[in-house]
Structure 1
Amino acid sequence: MNDQYDVVVVGAGPGGGSAAAIVAEAGYKTLLIEREAVPRYHIGESLMPEVYWPLQRLGMLDRMREAGYVVKSSVQFVSANGKESDPFFFREHDDRECSATWQVERSKFDEMLFQRAAELGADCVDRTRLLEVHFDGDRATGVRVRDAEGKDHDITAKVVIDATGQQSFIANKLKLKQVNPELKKIAIWRYYENARRDPGENEGATIILQTTHKNSWFWFIPLSNGVTSIGCVGDRDFMLSGRGTPAEVYDEELAQCPGLLARLEDATRVGDVRATKEFSYWTTRHAGDGWVLVGDAFGFIDPVYSSGVYFALEMGVRAGDAVVAGLASGDTSAAQLGSWTEEFKAGTQWLRKLVNVFYTKEFSVGRFLRDYPEHRGNLTDLLIGRIFYDGAGNLFDDLDPALQQAVAKAKM
């Protein structure tokens, strides 16, 4: 590491890796640091098809095709009584190559981004911990970090890109983080070998399965080498209300998920149970003079629609472009570095609304689509991640009243 850079990016997940690659490719002196040793484990393995475009921008599509990841061509939903929906095949809505995506091992995927940033000219250093972001008044001016040997370094920078994930370093420092009180979730997951997958094109599908009581749901994400990621998400108070260890809670909820039990009849557990909080939160400001937030440091919605990696990549590219333009013009103000954020939030609001629909127990999306089949394409767009266009939220013109009616009817 040197002691002076144009840009320091903190955190080498999808947001930080993509931002560092964009800035370094433009010729600016860039440092990307990661607290853990790369490669490192991370959850968040299912990608939305719209990752195609930021990955294309980063020059990584051929590497993705050659990496051996499971191809994801669809998503499917299973009701509380085990009834399976028809798969949402993305190609039926759009037959271009961009309508297929991947299920990834994040250690490998994030390492690919780390290496790509290095290829494009960034100094990429792992096992390096952020200790402090330096400010001169309201302007970020650099960072203090501790390297793998325990030595501290003060590094000046014209821009700091915070990609510290749920640690949200700058947002916590400046008290910018707002938790959604209705989406305080906990995720508990483990891995299985030989879980039953569907034949044919639906083999790589992400499957979302409800439990009988609808207080939790499971994800089913097929990975390479016959391994499947299977996780349970529920309200924090429900999942942690004195019910025992995370493994015991997981097993209790699994027993209440008939749609999943059949898929695990011949499966073998691999490794230990893991758990993490999956709180939905947003930040009240996303950029300031000399700093900008990307990825989970910016905000996190919910794991149900697998939007996290796509959003992080998209934010990384957009923030990287804003930083490059700002450095070129000598303007690293909050307005310039955050110039992309309002458009980004306008698109992502539709996924936030769809998450709220999913957690409304009284409402059935399947029934809604039977009543309004004309919205199936719009819904598929949202599941693909295609949200940045006029009309992306048109289905809510009919969905919002139907949702209100279903909730009111349930209270009668």
Structure 2
Amino acid sequence: MADQPSPHVVVIGGGPAGATVSTLIAQQGYRVTLLEREHFPRYHIGESLIPETYWVLKRLGMLEKMKSSHFVKKFSVQFVSPSGKHSAPFYFHDNKPHECSQTWQIQRSEFDVMMLKNAEEHGVDVHEGVRVLDVIFEGDRAVGVRVKDEAGNPKEIRASVVVDASGQSSMLVNKFKLKVPDPSLNKGALWTYFKGAYRDQGKDEGATVVLSLRDKQGWFWYIPMHDNIVSVGVVADFEYLFNGRTNHEATYFDEMENCPAVKERVSIGEQIAPVKATKDYTYRASQAAGDGWVLVGDAFGFLDPLYSSGVLLALKSGELAADAIIEGLQIGDTSRTQLGKWEPGYVEGMNRMRRLVCEYYDGFNFGEFIRRFPNHRGNVTDLLIGDLFKHELDQVFEDIDSMKTSRSASV
């Protein structure tokens, strides 16, 4: 890491959130240094995009790269009930006839490299294999970071703003004890990959399928990817999946017995990877920013992956934080108020997706709701595509509550 002028912004973490925030700031002519502990490519889960990622990808200059990639095109999502009944697909284009309604099923190791290289192309000073040891504070204000390069050489990098995009192991979240778990969504997941498993044809080939377990304890994701590979994972309550069940492989295939539709789909394929597990799902930081610092992506919060919102939230938080940082640098204000001004609106959108997730776990039936409130088909599709940041969607949840009330009254 050669000596050079101090950056205006230093970003910790090179995943989608870090790449997004750094690219957008660099586009405005500011010096940005991005520090990534690992060397890409590296494995990461979170493979299904939803359509609203389009608009951030467009700002980043990523759209043409995505269009020319070999990633499988995704046009819809479909749900399978505990009894095995398939819903009609939710085709995104039916609700929003625009090219943004086609998205992709990605391999994160490849996508993340594309995003990081794109950041470099826009002028971000990217360093891989660099470990951030600490964030430097003067009083309550972040003023830079202490790092160690691969050769073990220590260095300080001063900056006007420090962005923590380091994921669930966020240094600042741990430092200030900001992490707030979500007891209503205390879930875990087990997943693996199959080659040659069943996939639909034509327009439906790239659809994400959400399949409920027969006993309603959880659900499977089924994500068709390129090279004839399918990502297949089960999500359920932490206690149910992991307490007293120490063999992840055995647990995974036990749950597949509990979901015949998934078992049938993978029966013609071959498992090509060991079963992986994650046990720390939905949480949020109690604040997104402080004087001179900001949290983005999984560092700020993570939401249950039911509706594949992970990459969207990474990109969106990166975009919103970047705009606040750029404005702050322009006016000479890098206070908590300025750097975190995007948080309330972002949290509102995140809460709408969270509410839809909770309704699913409470037995929400998309088909029944649309039959009762056909005027909401477009709004529900908006929620599913990640168009979360508008108040008119709140009427959906008011009508869900009214349906629950009328059902209770009739019992």
1:278–1:302: 8 Å Cα contact kept in structure 2?
A: no
- Which residue does the alignment assign to 2:378? 377
- Structure 1 pair 405–134 and aligned structure 2 pair: CA distance change class (3 A): farther
| Cα 1:207–1:409 shift into 2, 3 Å | farther
Q: 2:316 aligns with which of 291, 311, 314?
A: 314
Distance in structure 1 (CA, Å) of the matches to 2:246 and 2:409 = 36
Alpha-carbon separation, structure 1, partners of 2:45 and 2:321: 23
How many angstroms does 1:404 deviate by? Answer: 5.0
Shift, 1:278, TM fit: 4.0
Q: 1:81-110, CA deviations, whole angstroms, 9 ceiling, x for partnerless residues?
A: 111111001111111100110000111111
Unpaired runs of 5+ residues, structure 2, are none
Is the CA contact (8 Å cut-off) linking 1:133 and 1:143 kept in structure 2?
Answer: yes
- 324, 330, 333: which one aligns with 2:332: 330
Q: Does 1:280 align with 2:282?
A: yes
**TM-score normalised to the size of structure 1?**
0.96
Which moves more between the two structures, 82-91 or 128-137?
128-137
Map of 2:115 onto structure 1: 113
**Aligned-partner Cα distance in 2 for 1:197–1:143:** 47
* Superposition pairs of residues 42-53 of structure 1, within 5 angstroms: 42-53=44-55
State the one-letter code of the partner of 1:207: V
Equivalent residues of 1:83, 1:259 under 8 A apart: no
Offset of residue 370 of structure 1: 1.9
Mapping for residues 12-411 of structure 1, pairs under 5 Å: 12-361=14-363, 363-403=364-404, 408=408
What is the TM-score when the length of structure 2 is the normalising length? 0.96
Q: Distance in 1 between matches of 2:105 and 2:37?
A: 25
For residue 33 of structure 1, give the secondary structure of its aligned residue in structure 2.
strand
- Deviation beyond 4 Å, 4+ runs, structure 1: none
Look up the equivalent residue of 2:235 and give its one-letter code. Answer: V
Q: Tell me how far 1:389 sits from its aligned partner.
A: 2.2
Q: In structure 2, what residue type is equivalent to 1:391?
A: E
Helix, strand or coil at the partner of 2:274: strand
Instruction: Report the more deviating stretch, 102-111 or 164-173.
Output: 164-173
Q: Percent identity?
A: 46
Alpha-carbon deviations, 1:331-357, whole Å to 9, x = none?
Answer: 111111111111111222211110110
Q: Letter of the aligned partner of 1:128 in structure 2? A: V
- Structure 1 residues 293, 48: closer, same or farther in 2, change over 3 A? same
- Counterpart CA distance in 1 for 2:61 and 2:49 is 17
Unaligned runs of 5+ in 1: none
CA RMSD of aligned residues (A): 1.5
In 1, distance between residues paired with 2:63 and 2:23? 15
**C-alpha distance in structure 2 between counterparts of 1:372 and 1:328, whole Å:** 47
Q: Which amino acid aligns with 1:240?
A: F
